[in-house]
């Protein structure tokens, strides 16, 4: 598979021709490299060797070179990578150099915390619409964005085109909301509701459950209590 993908690696825009052949692990490592390169850049470091980058990322330099090779030629043998250039190219590969329009579904505690999380916009995820079921919240605004009723979901998405939904509803509502959003044309979902949500193939869905991680941690700690 690696070889087949490598042959596609030099397609325009530094993108692989068939992203589905790139493993999730590779994408995760690219994310890590990108974060480390941003930190090196802010430390005014211009060049980094694959060995140094690998060390920071907790992997080895062969892995770094292999991960990058899927997407074209980076750096020169023995000269290291130009930090800013490599960062820019990985941001482009990851698609975080462009704008993704986000609908936030669920204006509760977590929705509010994520709304104020500036790395969303740093990654090109811009919240342009907010949905909630609570009549006390509907009609109010967060930094100028009006909270609309979930019942008006389709209408809102027609007026405000959106690429991605960030779901922070209660567990019992998440699947129904996602079904509805997908029907309305959403292509990507980041689910923070404390349950596993599914979507038809072709829709990119990721489950991130902060409270489930918290509970897993407290379960492990509690089991050791005297």
| Residue 34 sits in the site that holds a copy of itself (CB under 8 A) | yes
Residues 38-97 touching a copy of itself, rule: CB under 8 A, are 39, 56-58, 93-96
Distances (CA, A) of 182 to 107, 154, 208: 19, 10, 18
Q: Identify the residue whose tokens are 């959403």.
A: 186
Of the pair 91, 180, the CB lying nearest a copy of itself is at: 91
Q: Which of 6, 35, 52, 65 touches a copy of itself by CB under 8 A?
A: 35
CB of 143 to a copy of itself, least distance (A): 14
Judged by CB under 8 A, which stretch of 2-10, 32-40, 61-69, 78-86 contacts a copy of itself? Answer: 32-40
**Per CB under 8 A, which region of 1-9, 132-140, 151-159, 206-214 contacts a copy of itself?**
206-214
Q: How far is the CB of 10 from a copy of itself (least distance, A)?
A: 15
CB proximity list for 61: less than 8 A, separation 6 or greater? 49, 50, 51, 53, 54
Contact characters 175-204, a copy of itself, x per CB under 8 A: x-----------xx-x---xxx-x-----x
Please state, as a whole number, how many other Cβ atoms lie within 10 Å of the Cβ of residue 142. 16
CA 158 to chain CA centroid, Å, is: 24
Using CA atoms, how far apart are residues 170 and 197, in angstroms rounded to an integer?
Answer: 12
- Find the part of the chain contacting a copy of itself (CB under 8 A) among 25-33, 81-89, 134-142, 150-158: 25-33
Transcribe 29-45 into DSSP letters: HHHHHHHHHHHHHHTT-
Q: What Å distances lie between residue 2 and 7, 23, 110, 140, CA to CA?
A: 9, 10, 39, 51
Stretch touching a copy of itself by CB under 8 A, among 1-9, 72-80, 132-140, 215-223: 215-223
């Amino acid at each position: 598979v690696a070889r087949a993908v490598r042959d596609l690696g030099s397609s325009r825009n530094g993108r692989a021709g068939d992203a589905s052949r790139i493993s999730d692990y590779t994408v995760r490592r690219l994310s890590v490299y990108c974060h480390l390169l941003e930190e090196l850049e802010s430390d005014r470091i211009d060049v980094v060797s694959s060995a140094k980058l690998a060390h920071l990322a907790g992997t080895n330099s062969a892995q770094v070179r292999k991960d990058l090779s899927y997407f074209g030629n980076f750096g020169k043998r023995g000269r290291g990578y130009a930090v800013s250039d490599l960062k820019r190219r990985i941001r482009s590969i990851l698609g975080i150099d462009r704008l993704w329009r986000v609908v936030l579904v669920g204006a509760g505690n977590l929705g509010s915390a994520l709304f104020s999380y500036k790395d969303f916009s740093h990654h090109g995820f811009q919240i342009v619409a907010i949905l909630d079921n609570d009549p006390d919240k509907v009609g109010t605004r967060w930094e100028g964005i009006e909270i609309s009723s979930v019942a008006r979901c389709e209408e809102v998405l027609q007026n405000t085109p959106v690429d991605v939904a960030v779901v922070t509803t209660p567990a019992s509502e998440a699947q129904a909301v996602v079904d509805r959003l997908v029907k309305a044309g959403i292509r990507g979902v980041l689910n923070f509701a404390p349950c596993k949500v599914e979507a038809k193939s072709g829709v990119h869905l990721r489950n991130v459950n902060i409270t489930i991680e918290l509970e897993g941690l407290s379960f492990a700690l509690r089991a050791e209590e005297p």
